[in-house]
Structure 1
Amino acid sequence: MLDKPAEPTPFRLTSLAHGGGCGCKLAPSVLRDLLSEQPPGSPFERLLVGTETGDDAAVWQLDDETCLIATTDFFMPMVDDPFEFGRIAATNAISDVYAMGGKPLLALAILGMPLGKLEPAMVREILKGGASIAAEAGIPVAGGHSIDAPEPIYGLAVIGTAKPETIRKNSTAEAGDVLILTKALGVGIYSAAFKKEALPPPAYAEMIGSMTKLNRIGTELGKDAQVHAVTDVTGFGILGHGLEMARGSGLALEIEAEALPLLDEAGALARAGYVTGASHRNWASYGEAVRLPTDLPDWRRHLLTDPQTSGGLLVACAPEAATRVLQQIRAAGYDKAAIIGRARAGEPSITVA
């Protein structure tokens, strides 16, 4: 892995951006409206996954043995260290390939930088950070595109491959499936505290560790016939991405609020009011499809709507396989993975207990 620069950033990188991380994403309702008139992908027989269900990546079947997975993801900085910003953005982008059950093959960089505001050395560190994570995933950053932009933007377009039978969509959960979440929630809450210089150093290290942990377990889950559906949890929060799974699969999901894994200080910081604007936009987008207990405190609701940057995978698997799959995920290094609920027959919705 490439070394970080010895000298500190002379100013806060986040001060150049109006938002950061996956909290920059358009609200789910806005995105659905923008895509509502897009032509369906059905005329293309080899397009196995397009825009219809809001899945993590596009999938094109090349032949009987190979599918091509294509995705892109980029955002503005949520940390001030340019090297770490690059690492986070790259981890987040590569995650989409893992979420489809694939293996990444190569990446292209997407770079927008405000000329005259950032020293070239800082931009180089962003690129080094992204390249270091790509190397960890075993892929090159083989090119890219850059523009002069009013705010710093970085991410990757990623290409991956998979066998047709290992592709895992967000729309193929089955009634009775158990839901597993592989990473803890609270990244958005941590980032809100960080911007106000209220995040303790151990919590900052925990946040970086979570956001730069590759979701490579998704490749292995795609090989398991008892794993029916997978999606990664990012800017729409656990409720938003869970709702995409519910709608795509035509099922009702039930989530246990107290079963959700959390970053160590997430609960305390949520109680203290550290919440992102994206969290509020997410909640306004869900509508009546999400049902919460009448006595659920606001801080718990904020955890449910919290936008995750480079979050974990939401996995739907057969109930008889749930314990085995959870143990496999934890053994792979996702020690906070937990069973958080189940899917059942019913109108597409999420009920939180």
Structure 2
Amino acid sequence: MHIGIPKEIKTHEYRVGLTPASAHDLVVNGHKVFVETKAGEGIDFSDDDYRAAGVEVLKSADEVFEKAEMIVKVKEPQPEERARLKPHHTLFTYFHLAPDAEQTHDLIESGATCIAYETVTDKTGGLPLLAPMSAVAGRMSIQAGASALEKSNGGRAVLMGGVPGVEPAKVVIIGGGVVGENAAEMAVGMGAEVVILDRSLDVLRRLSNRFDNRIKTVYSTFQALAEHVISADLVVGAVLLPGAAAPKLITRELVASMKKGAVIVDVAIDQGGCAETAVATTHADPTYIVDGVVHYCVANMPGAVARTSTMALNNATLPYTLALANKGIRQALSDDRHLLNGLNVCKGHITCRDVSDALELPYTAAEEIIQAL
């Protein structure tokens, strides 16, 4: 199979779909791999590193898309990338389609096969290709929140861990999944007061045991959520409904009731955000203020630590990339129900129920459409 690695073009996005080491594994398996020049330069993977791995370096993204059958990326394809897609292409990347009608329509029109990292599942019900970036984003949410709390950045001028005689910041985390757990680990390590809200008693028990009662766990009712958000210095939105738009749990009225200079880090922004006041931002201009509350809503948070993120992501995605290349797309999807769950758009059809429901567009079962591949 011919596999292409274009350079990411989203603002301040330095991750790359395949590292030289991952690309070499594909080459060893008999595949031809192409990379756009300087695709890995931002994280110290040179063109020569790729050449040494047996990869052909091309001068432009146009050439990569022209030569490739399967394209491996990190972030959702931008408009100019979507314009390059053809029906013979398979695109393996993050998409987050539920809140993005424009991208979804473009992918439908392209006729390409689009497999989303974020909806691939595993036998335990987890999301193995989303988990590594969720872990990074969870940890980063506390770093970003601590910075935003500084007075010079519009925050309440509160130190996360306080000092002897001065109470620490109160961090409220909505959602106890991978993002929430990793956020809690960082916040506890910095000495903050940490509260996690979730609707699963099993999750709350596990987190209570995990942190040996160094956090408070609260069952998430509307009243409990409002009470803790209003008293928080930092709120981390860590809610996830796989493939679906994030629920708007933090209302405009609730934001208006928060402390002036408090911070919301909405990690759910890729799926539309869990705050009604959330609007996607970039690393170039990451925050804005609504009703005195600082909002950090960067849609590619792990891109700020792109080398760590790329290597963590490749560790998770490489086995699936190899399966798709070695077996062929149809056979790989037919053999692995969990990989098939990653199929979001195929041959002009939406094959993910949550995306079709969110955008009110027709749905076609993935099992039906892969026979056309």
Normalising TM by the smaller chain, what interval?
under 0.3
Higher strand proportion (structure 1 or 2):
1
Radius of gyration: which is bigger?
2
Tell me which of the two structures has the higher relative contact order, counting C-alpha pairs closer than 8 angstroms and 6 or more residues apart.
1
